Amino acid sequence: MRLFYRLIVSDFDGTLRRSEGGVSENNLQAVADYVKAGGIFVLCTGRMAASILPYARQLGLKGLIAACQGAQIIDTQSGEILFDRPIGCADAEEICAFLQAEHWHIHVYDGNDLYINKDDLFRAVYEKTCAVRGILTPERISDTVREKKISPQKIAVMCDASERDYILRQTEEKFGKRFYVTTSADNLVEIMRRGCDKGGALRFVAEHYGIPLSQTIAIGDNFNDLPMIDAAGLGVVVENGEEGVKKAAGFVTRSCDEDGVAYVIRKFGFGENI
């Protein structure tokens, strides 16, 4: 079967994953058909590797995955880390000190370890959604970063949706010139090393497989997906995505609850008239 695009890079939460959780049978089958036909399907997510690997295996994927917004790229079969650009320990301590002074709920992502500074509802919700168990630290998580010499791939604030934009503005004003600051959900603000974004991840994956960017599709839903939507040959946003992100897309597909990824695979990957 002819493929019109050889590489599809997809976000997970809000894109491939349904609102109530899990990946639909329709999406599973579409991905399987695409891979069987010779296409390469890659998950690119803000989640840590340990949280996304089970879904990559459920999908039968045997190539690369990109975690922590592209700060880490891993081979799912060998476990080899092909790309890893963490925030330096001293910088991470500075970022955490700023965030904890505002008494915000902080996550520090260090490889397969997740450090959390508050034992509250945010922790419970995140651990249940992402199927990971965090390591509880004192509220002054910057001390833990310094003492353990942690150089994390990502630092995040989890908050009420009503507070996100304020926290995003404050964090961008303080660190936006030195680090990549973005949001992937109504209740998350995330900080990575500058240059570690999903656009860079897509370019790395495409080069790894020897596929020109013109033969790539990126599918996402939120502002953290913009770099890969801009970089891909075809940038796609699901119907449930942010309005500002849709404006940058070449195509708006069905929502995550209506198997928007499967629709893209069939319409653009295989060129079906649907």
pLDDT at 218: 98
Which strands form 105-110's sheet, in the order they lie side by side?
135-136, 113-116, 105-110, 154-158, 188-193, 179-185
* 225 in a structural domain: yes
Do 122 and 74 lie in one domain? The reply is no
Distances (CA, A) of 257 to 8, 184, 238: 19, 18, 10
Do 150 and 98 lie in one domain? The reply is yes
Q: What is the largest CA-CA distance in the chain?
A: 58
Do 12 and 137 lie in one domain? The reply is no
pLDDT at 1: 74
* 121 in a structural domain: yes
User: Domain range for residue 167?
Assistant: 89-193
266: left (phi over 0), alpha (psi -120 to 50) or beta: alpha
Residues ≥6 apart with Cβ < 8 Å to 173: none
pLDDT at 273: 86
* 2 in a structural domain: no
- Residue 165 — φ and ψ, nearest 5°? -65, -35
Residues ≥6 apart with Cβ < 8 Å to 210: none
Do 107 and 150 lie in one domain? The reply is yes
**CB atoms closer than 10 angstroms to residue 213:** 14
Query: Which residue numbers in the chain have pLDDT < 70?
Result: none
Residues ≥6 apart with Cβ < 8 Å to 181: 168, 171, 172, 175, 189, 190, 191
Do 93 and 183 lie in one domain? The reply is yes
Do 100 and 177 lie in one domain? The reply is yes
Q: How far apart are CA 182 and CA 212, in angstroms?
A: 27
Do 50 and 175 lie in one domain? The reply is no
Could you report the per-residue pLDDT of 206-239, keeping only the tens digit for each?
999 999 999 999 999 999 999 999 999 999 999 9
- 255 alpha-carbon distance from chain centroid: 18
* 33 in a structural domain: yes
Q: How far apart are CA 250 and CA 267, in angstroms?
A: 13
Could you report the per-residue pLDDT of 154-168, keeping only the tens digit for each?
999 999 999 999 999
Domain count, the chain: 2
**CB atoms closer than 10 angstroms to residue 216:** 25
Residues ≥6 apart with Cβ < 8 Å to 165: none
Domain termination residue (choose one: 136, 167, 193): 193
Residue 155, beta-bridge partner list: 108, 191
Q: How far apart are CA 48 and CA 155, in angstroms?
A: 11
Do 93 and 184 lie in one domain? The reply is yes
